[in-house]
Chains A and B, each alone.
Chain A
Amino acid sequence: MVNPKSLGADEVYRQCPVEDLDFDTTESLEDLTTPCGQERVVEALQFGTGIRNAGFNLFLLGSRGADRHQLIKRFLGDRAVGESTPPDWCYLYNFETDDSPRAISLEAGHGRKFRADMDQFIEELRTSVPAVFESEEYQSRMQELQEEVEQRQQKGIGAIEKEANENGIALISTPTGFTLAPLRDGEVMDPEEYEKLPDKKRRQIEEKVAELQKKLQQAIQGIPRMRKELRKRVRSLNEEMILFTLKGPISDIKERWSHVPDVIAHIDAVRDDVVENADAFRGERGGGPPEELLDRYRVNLLVDNAAVSGAPVIYEDLPNHHHLVGRIEHQVRNGALSTDFSLIRPGALHRANGGYLILDARRVLTHPMAWESLKRVLFSGEIRIESLERLYGLVSTTSLQPERIPLSVKVILLGERTLYYLLAHYDPDFLELFKVEADLEDELERSDDNYPLYARMLATVARRAELQPLDRGAVARMIEHASRLAGDQQKLTANDRILRDVLMEAGYWAGEDKSPVIEAGHVQRAIKERRERAGRMRRRSLEQIRRGTVLLATEGERLAQVNGLSVIQLGGFSFGRPMRITATARPGRGQVVDIEREADLGGPIHSKSVLILSRFIGSRYAGEGELSLSASIAFEQSYGGIEGDSASLAETCALLSAIAKVPLKQSLAVTGSINQHGEVQAIGGVNEKVEGFFDVCREAGSLAGHGVLVPASNVDNLMLEREVRDAVEAGTFNIYPVTTVDEAIAALTGTIPGEPDEQGVFAPDSFNRRVADRLSTFADRAARRRHGGKRKETGNRDDPDNDDEL
């Protein structure tokens, strides 16, 4: 076993050779038509938008940095242009059931024309129809009708009056009817004189009066029938006059819209309604028809596609229930809420009908009922406008139930992967409705072949953001930064939003320098400034270490103490922070106490890693014998939670140091996880961790022999900052790739770890032999205790870790 060899500067950073880029500036590069490295997503989008079957809606998922909106809008924009424009939709008054407005579709752009035609027709109604009613002809015919019926009414009564007069009886009007009385000399007879008449004469008169009363009753009871007949004849007259007046305008409209049966039916219904409401059209003393009546004939143009070329692409940025399915507004009339078909407002689904609707999944899910409404509409294939108040029964005001509108739309949900998988898991409808999954790549392969493509992507981004072009150096620096963002020498980030932000900042600094192109220095400054702006916590952390508030040694050797490395993520910025890890070891029941877990500060992965390392120690050093160990591990001065297994190598080293009583070098920091066989495994955030320790060492004084032990499998992830690279090149700071615990021990202790022989016994004087011997001593003591029953004379009986009483 030899000490691990430190990496060279070229191994901790992969540069992008400027000479590989065969252009001067990105101005000469063409725009990228398809997103770089997203061919699989583009294919999914082509499939998802091409297939017309129900349920094949799309979910475009990707990480936060990916500019999903730009991508989908660009894609759909190109696609929709070649598609046919969907029809306009109008709501009209329903003359049969006034609370269910009718929906009709018209060819795109014809909705406006229909609305204008109806407005013009209404103006015609407003002036022509009242004029008809004021005309001499109408007045005269109406008078004739009324007089005729009145005469018929009065004829019967008049005949009775005549008969009464002929029999010497008067028909007298009273305020509430008629009465009959005997006459003499043209006046009603005095009752006293009447009494003097002979009985026979009086009887004749009274019989005649009774007969006439009966006839009078019959005549009066026939009056309602005659009035009904009058109404019927008045209606016929109104119809005749109105139809004559409106014949021209109605014919014109019908001729223009003869190809649309729904419009023809509506015009016929309007005509009938005008006839039905002739009285209202006559108005009060020539005041004209009431506006409420005329408004019924207007057109509510719900969806106007006149200005749309191709299929509509709608993005709804506030996808609540009403904005999706539309709403029915109300207005206050005489203190009460009322509504009509003209107050129906479209939703995004109406506007996107026949095209594409883009929605943010998270926003849809966070608005009450929006998700349920969207699913309901997609399942039914129809848009039904229903207000939330009505759905929940919160208000009982009158409302409408507009006719449903058939829906043909492709919905594209945009969201993070977590959302997609949560929906797929918990909502059984989700995969029924969103069958096409378009998963954006987070990273692209970094290869010489991809450089020109990536450069074109940067050129496109710069052009769209109206930035200066980039020179070759700037492109190379951007590619290197993309690799750093991907955390991989072999990859480039596909998160174009972050790249665009960096480019825009670089463009700003280029502008400050009055440079016509963005150079590498501008890109570097943008990266540095971003880091500085977000670096308050990082600086504070360094200060605490420098002032000794947080204890961390970077010189000398210490027993059972090692520098571990953690990563702190704050918003979009992360940095590495070294932490002291300590361990203790004493005889016990063969367990390692994870203090973080005991204090409820450790996460489950961390707990798992501690269990793994304890089993590694047990199986490696105790062999078939008994492991008598009571150990503990702690992250010193850690007041937040610890999660992850990337410290398990450091923890193992600290524990082995405690058991073997061999000190560890404090000039080195350790990161990496281990398995039960002592092999070192890859971890995340390696760059931040290395740079974090580098910063601490530099703050503590001059660099000399400092370094970090990293898993060998993480070497490809190294994309370290220039300052670190310079130190590596100068040999003052070293990166040691390790593959086993033994390699880490060798580097940290300067001793030979030692290999076991065939019997599993380690070489004398080796580090591992010291570990095994100490554990054997622990086991012997434990065995003696068990067999001898001798109690330990010293030790705190209250100590829960006091396991010596075996």
Chain B
Amino acid sequence: MMSSEDREKSPNAQQRRIVVLFDASPPSLQALSAARDLAARLNAELHAIYVEETDLLRSSAFDFAREISILSGSSRPLQSDDGAGNLRRHLRRLRAVLDEVADAGQVRYRLLVRRGEVVREVLDIAGPDDVLVLGRVGWGARLGRSIGSTSLMLARQAPGSVLIWSEPVATRASRVVMLAEAPETVPACLALACDRARVRGSDLSILLCPLPDAHAASERERLIERHLASFGIRAHMQELPVANTANVLQALGRERAVELVVSRRGGLLDSPVAERLLERIRLPVSVAA
């Protein structure tokens, strides 16, 4: 539950929504719990979005379409004659799970059901003040993906901040690590990083990506120090010689990172480096708008 102190610090709490993409896959259930906790802390409303994918609907209309069970490998026909009934049953299950999870956190919540292409539908709903919470990957995990294309696209395109949730492994990890890029990305990214560090009760580390000129670097450092002072938080800073996947992974290991915070406005998230990085790390990733 959200404390009174937290409420005071969140003037826009009434408008803010926590939007979570939810398809009942294990990663999406974990993301739902994380979103619930976040909503409770920010006293925000939880919006769970379920998108009935067009591809799946169409595939069930083929006479030859069969479903191969992931558990047993057995094959059975996809029932298209009662598509509406299937959807109703599936939604009942989703509703039950959502009721249980949300009630445990005593948060206000809503289930939104859309039909169409997932990314398009989510972007249609999420606004700039909303926090979008996603699982790293949905059912596509079975196909060997550790970061789903949907999650990556939403991280890159969402209007507000995004949290790509991963269940933490049991380690003595203790630091939230922020990846600092250009100076203009710093305020929003640092604000989110400080918030995440406070929530987790962790220390903050900042990885400084190389910048093309010294002026920008000093400006970034100035901004960082100013904002840290205003937040009353101290951080350990470390410069990355090159902002590539290997360097970032090593730095995260050294810092015993518990969460990574990056900015959407920096170039990194759009680069192939980010895709490789997100495939390799098993940490929650917060994306600042």
Contact = CB atoms under 8 A, between A and B. Distances in A.
Nearest to A284: B170
Interface stretch (A30-38, A217-225, A657-665, A721-729): A217-225
Interface stretch (A57-65, A176-184, A419-427): A176-184
Contact of B58 (A139, A175, A189, A217): A189
Contacts of B143: 154, 157-158, 161, 171, 173
A225 B67 CA distance: 22
Summarize A's interface: helix, strand, loop or mixed: helix
B24 A143 contact: no
Contacts of A210: 64
B75 interface: yes
Nearest to B58: A188
Contacts of B229: none
Nearest to A150: B144
Interface string B55-68: 11011111011111
Contacts of B23: 175
Contact of A175 (B25, B61, B172): B25
Interface in A166-198: 170-182, 187-191, 194
Interface residues of B, number: 37
B142 interface: yes
Nearest to B76: A177
B68 A181 contact: no
A136 B68 contact: no
Contacts of A179: 56, 59-60, 65-68, 78
Nearest to A136: B253
A803 interface: no
A283 B172 CA distance: 13
A703 to B, nearest CB: 105
A298 interface: no
Contact of A134 (B25, B59, B70, B170): B170
Interface in B218-242: none
B156 interface: no
A285 interface: yes
B140 interface: yes
Nearest to B57: A188
Interface in B73-93: 73-75, 78, 90
Contacts of A209: 64
A155 B142 CA distance: 10
B54 interface: yes
B59 A206 contact: no
A286 interface: yes
B69 interface: yes
A286 B170 contact: yes
Contacts of B58: 181, 188-191
B52 to A, nearest CB: 12
B67 A174 contact: yes
Contacts of B7: none
A582 to B, nearest CB: 103
A350 interface: no
Contact of B55 (A154, A188, A206, A283): A188
A191 B61 contact: yes
A161 B67 CA distance: 15
A191 B172 contact: no
Contacts of A134: 170-172
Contacts of A170: 55, 59
A285 B170 contact: yes
Interface in B187-246: none
A172 B59 contact: yes
Nearest to B144: A154
A676 interface: no
Contacts of A153: 144
Interface string A128-171: 00000110100100010000001101110110010000000011
Contact of B67 (A178, A221, A284): A178
B138 interface: yes
A191 B62 contact: yes
Given A213-B75, A217-B73, A174 B56 contact: yes
A218 B73 CA distance: 7
Interface string B127-154: 0000000000011101110000000000
Given A134-B170, A172-B55, 4 more contacts: A174-B78, A177-B67, A177-B68, A217-B75
Interface of A: 133-134, 136, 139, 143, 150-151, 153-155, 157-158, 161, 170-182, 187-191, 194, 206, 209-210, 213, 216-221, 282-286
Sorted nearest first, the 5 A-B pairs with minimum C-beta distance are A154-B144, A173-B139, A181-B59, A220-B73, A191-B61
20 contacts: A134-B172, A143-B282, A155-B144, A158-B144, A170-B55, A175-B24, A176-B71, A177-B68, A179-B56, A179-B60, A180-B59, A181-B55, A181-B65, A188-B59, A190-B58, A213-B66, A220-B68, A220-B69, A220-B70, A220-B73
